[in-house]
Amino acid sequence: MRNSWRGIVAGAAGGVSATVAMSAFQSLWNYAGRRTYSNGSSGANGSGEEPATEKMARRLSKGFFGHKLDKRQTGFAANAFRFGFGTAVGAFYGAVAEFSPAIARGDGVPFATGLMAVSDEVAVPALGLSRAPQDRPMSAHLYTLCSHVVYGFVLETTRRAVRRALENR
């Protein structure tokens, strides 16, 4: 039975768990990169760029509150932004899945790949939060794609399990 609130709740839960999984994957990727490469680059992708979430956190803090974040505050705010975005995307996904189950095909991976294309390859560079896609190394694109595959799979797996649990209540 379709129920938008159950879909939103299940999707939000999926978004939180997917963001945790994606963050863990990225930490492992970057740890492996530091262990593999000793050229001083930032992570295995070698982009050396500051994370877009940190840039966005500083921009939002300065723009909305007139407050310049220190390093510790930037890390906290970047995580809050990352989890807020991941949860909101998950809630949207869950709501859409209630009325258009096709979005969940491929265990969430096609959705997350599309999300990557729109957010990381278009919106983030357009907002000046990263270099243009053609100016980033191929390894950075692979890192982003793999991260989103993890996000999409965990999002759908969790959404489906939570949605079933809510249906049985």
Determine the pLDDT at residue 112. 97
* Planar angle of CA 54, 60, 63, nearest 5 degrees: 140
- Look at residues 62, 163, 150 and name the one whose alpha carbon lies nearest to residue 109: 150
Report the C-alpha gap between 121 and 133 in whole angstroms: 6
Determine the pLDDT at residue 168. 81
Q: List, for residues 64-84, the tens digit of each pLDDT value.
A: 999 999 999 999 999 999 999
- Look at residues 113, 121, 150 and name the one whose alpha carbon lies nearest to residue 138: 121
User: Which residue reads 């974040």 in tokens?
Assistant: 69
Q: List, for residues 107-164, the tens digit of each pLDDT value.
A: 999 999 999 999 999 999 999 999 999 999 998 899 999 999 999 999 999 999 999 9
Q: Where are the domains of the chain?
A: 4-167
Helix 4-36 / helix 71-99 crossing angle, nearest 10 deg: 130
Q: List, for residues 31-75, the tens digit of each pLDDT value.
A: 887 655 443 444 444 466 788 899 999 999 999 999 999 999 999
pLDDT at 27 over 70: yes
